A and B are shown apart, each in its own frame.
Chain A
Amino acid sequence: MDLAPTTRDELAAMLQEASAHGRVLDIRGGGLHSRRGRPFTPDDTILTRGLSRVVDYVPDDMTITVEGGVTIAEILAAIGGHRQAWPQAPADPTATVGGVLAAAVSGRRRLRDGPVRDSLLEVVVATGDGRIIKGGGRTVKTVTGYDLPRLLTGSLGTLGVIVQATLRVWPVPMAEQWFTAHGDDGDMLAIAHGVLAGRHRPAAVILTPGAAHVCLTGVPDDMVAPPGMAEGSEPVAPMGPGTVQMGVPPAALPAVVRHLSLEARPFEAWLGTGICHVIAHDAADVTAVRDLATSHSGHAQVVDGDDALRADPFGPVPAGADIMRHLRSSFDPAGILCPGRFAAAAPVPA
């Protein structure tokens, strides 16, 4: 059954009820990042789009407080008139704030603007047993207490439902331009390397099969095409049945790109950040991509895919898993929130 709360109190009551009866819940915002982690069968699904209020926006403070179901398009509508943006977020207009944060989805300008977790200042979360908890603070800088905003970012709904978020927003750059080049991978890597080593701090240096894409932000005088490139456009994300996100040390990414090209796998590599998205058709692809990441001291997780692709979504159990389990028990004592999502094929240490 779908549950669609419109207030935090309604949501809290639903969670209390579900915890009391052991009903397993999935949580859904825009539905763009729901196919993550090992599949599980929910009894009910919480739809967060009803938590749709822009609570507070002070343009001169460059902070906005919104409920978790507010979409990126709605945020941009609120702040765009003041020439402000949320550059750490992805560009999907229908994604919700809660979904983007719960899945820790960062945008393509991560190289210059940083990951999405850096933009969350304060978070209000409804725990599995329906408590409403606030962490962080609404000012642009705070070390007041434990960093719940960072803990919640990327928790994939297993610690609570994001009810409200205060985000740090930024001025829209005076100028922004994408540049593109096409050619073989060696040439594209050389071009990308030149941009990364240059004086300008690029917002994005992205390689896709046979192409390089660079985004420069800053002042108009700096919007000069890097050597070998011409004015172009943002890359089109590779499409396929599933997507694996690799994280490797940034310097390993060129070698990863060469390997992926040899195997003719569609990919989108964010140079300078160590992030690479690779299309996977089946579980064997996931394993191959993970092996490649591991051989470069990295890791790989399935960020989109059907049930078969998500049998082993994360690979080896990370360090500190017992701490994570303790955290989970405090925030979701009945274990009803997305249980099974953080699964490993290998035996789990006690």
Chain B
Amino acid sequence: MTGGAGHLADRLRALLGPERLLDGNLARNLYAHDGSIVTGDCGMVALPETTEEVATCMAMAHAAGVEVTPRGSGTGLAGGAVPLEGGLVISLARMREMGEVDTANACVWVQPGVLNLDVSMAVEHLGLHYAPDPSSQAACSIGGNVGTNAGGPHCLAYGVTVQHVLGLELVRPDGQVVVLGGEAPDPPGFDLRGVVVGAEGTVGVVTRVLLRLTPLPPDVRTMLLDFMTVAEASATVQAIIAEGIIPAALEMMDRNMALAVEEFVHAGLPTDAAALLLVEVDGTRAEVDTATGIVEAVAHRHGVRTVRVARDEEERALLWKARKTAFGAVARVRPSYYLHDCVVPRTRLVEIMEAIGEITARERVICLNVFHAGDGNLHPIIALDRSDPDETERAMRAGDQIVRACIALGGTLSGEHGIGVEKREYMPLVFDSGDLEAQACVRRAFDPDGRMNPGKVLPTGTRCGEVGLADTQVPEGTWI
């Protein structure tokens, strides 16, 4: 450890105590990973419990010139929480307090370490829920969700994290604390809140989040549709939405995935079908009845084999369990997996599913598909054994080709997992150097020294350039 960092460790230990400043080998190895396959290099880990402690940690790191990587639960799949060059990891896992629910304004302030699912569970008795519901919601934290602008099945109708974050408290790279947004809508000035959400920890550390809570729908219906071809299922997805129905969720699972899931969830998934659609509609009873009728009619026009409507909450929960535990079920096939979360325009679903099939067959890898079909957000999961270098190599090659196929069809790199380390070198596929330079300028406006989560989001070598090095002269009395 270099002198500056060593000195910082001593100061942080004095602040937090030895049990909340970890720099032993075990911790450093542990925190050099997240849910992705990226391995980094962690210098030390701080576990603050209050905003003030985070601010002090940040001020100390600023004084020492040490890089900082914020971390939530570490479930991210793009390497966003992996420190790359030593430095300080600030884990928000101990900041798990939830404020009093403001029922009149339907919102609640929470600390970033609060788990996603715990929010909905805590407000259910008030008839409310927190709408973004990533599959990892039992493990992932609100802070991490804010970092990646997380999604989930129900984002099709309800929107992603940024649409549910009314305000946030940000500890800036120099330790200053600022509150952006709040209960009152549309504050004057630029929407900095909107920029912080999805910035993957590169603009500061979020220490409190004001979440918008959404009323539970008065009625909900969940359907499982099965098809003998992926093309029919894909066409059904497109046709449902073309009919003017935006379901609350519209998920697809292919046969490989259904087989793996059914083995341990026992949800009665038809494992001989080529593709399953999980469709949920909600609203008033009349809205639900109407939407259900349309979904069934469309599905029959496109060759659905059976339509199973969940009879009760228990069956509905079982179907959702099958969907949300899918990633874990991959372990029954191979010990590890590798995936991208590209998005394609919904009208290109049939083509991309065919392309994924061809690519994975050519590379001789096992691919399981389970994804947010309604918004075109793919999750082709390539099962692999990382102790097999040849298989790992083929999996990487297949992943690369899938990304390029998505972009060629007018898609984008990530729908909800973020860019992290994993996809940063793909950024030039969707942005030119001027676009990336502008993004680097946005980042620098928050973090002039470039110490926040370096090496993430933007490809190596991207700089803000010479523009705007000095602040533009603004007329007297103006703030922008």
Interface, chain A (partner B; CB < 8 A): 38, 40, 58-63, 83, 104, 106, 114-115, 117-118, 127, 129, 131-135, 137-148, 150-151, 153-155, 158-159, 170-172, 174, 199-201, 218-219, 221-222, 245, 247-251, 273-275, 293, 297-299, 301, 314-315, 317-321, 323-335, 339-345, 348
Q: A335 to B159: give the CA distance in the assembly, Å.
A: 35
CB–CB A343/B190 < 8 A: no
B416: CB under 8 A from chain A? yes
A142/B414 contact (C-beta < 8 A), A60-B238, A274-B185 known? yes
Q: Are A328 and B480 in contact (CB under 8 A)?
A: yes
CA distance A151 to B198 in the complex (A): 13
**Quick one: which of A40, A251, A323, A344 contacts B192, CB cutoff 8 A?**
A323
- Return the CB mask of B170-200 against A: 1 if under 8 Å, else 0: 0000000011101111111111101101110
Contact segment of B308-316, B319-327, B434-442 = B434-442
B471 pairs with A218, CB closer than 8 A: no
Query: Do A131 and B434 form a contact, CB below 8 Å, given A61-B345, A345-B477?
Result: yes
Question: A145-B427, A329-B471, A344-B478 given as contacts; is B184 within 8 A of A138 (CB)?
Answer: no
Residue of A nearest to B283 (CB): A218
Interface size on B, residues (CB 8 A): 95
Return chain B residues, CB-CB under 8 Å to A159.
190
Report A-chain residues with C-beta under 8 Å of the C-beta of B190.
151, 154-155, 159, 324, 327
Q: Is A114 in contact with B194, judged by CB distance below 8 angstroms?
A: no
Of B109-117, B148-156, B359-367, which binds chain A? B148-156
5 contacts across the A-B interface (CB closer than 8 A): A133-B438, A153-B191, A174-B290, A329-B468, A333-B468
Q: CA separation between A331 and B437, bound complex, in Å?
A: 11
Instruction: Tell me the nearest residue of chain B to A337, going by C-beta.
Output: B472
Best-surrounded residue of A59, A114, A142, A275 (most CB of chain B within 10 A)? A142
Contact A141 B345 (CB under 8 A): no
Main secondary structure of the interface of A (DSSP, over half): loop
SS class, residues of chain B in contact with chain A: loop
Give, as a whole number of angstroms, the nearest-CB distance from A226 to chain B.
Answer: 13
Nearest Cβ distance between residue B43 and chain A, in whole angstroms?
Answer: 26
Task: Tell me, in angstroms, the Cα distance from A193 to B466 when the chains sit together.
Answer: 55
Report the number of A-B residue pairs with Cβ-Cβ less than 8 Å. 292
Give CA–CA (A200, B194) in the complex, Å.
Answer: 29
A144-B412, A221-B286, A245-B186 known; A348-B478 Cβ under 8 A: yes
Q: Which residue of the partner chain B has the closest CB to A344? A: B479
B396 within 8 Å of A by Cβ? no
Most buried by A among B186, B245, B376, B434: B186
Q: Is the CB of B472 within 8 A of A329?
A: yes
Contacts A60-B346, A134-B432, A147-B195 supplied; 17 other A-B pairs, CB < 8 Å: A138-B345, A142-B413, A143-B416, A144-B414, A145-B427, A145-B458, A150-B195, A151-B442, A247-B185, A247-B187, A297-B182, A320-B189, A321-B479, A328-B472, A329-B469, A343-B477, A343-B479
The yes or no answer to B344 lying at the interface (CB within 8 A) is: yes
Taking the nearest CB of chain B, how far is it from the CB of A242, in angstroms?
A: 16
CA distance A287 to B155 in the complex (A): 40
Q: Is the Cβ of A143 less than 8 Å from the Cβ of B415? A: yes
Inter-chain CA distance A298–B166, complex, in Å, is 13
Of B46-54, B383-391, B443-451, the one contacting chain A is B443-451
**Contact between B415 and A319, CB atoms less than 8 A apart:** no
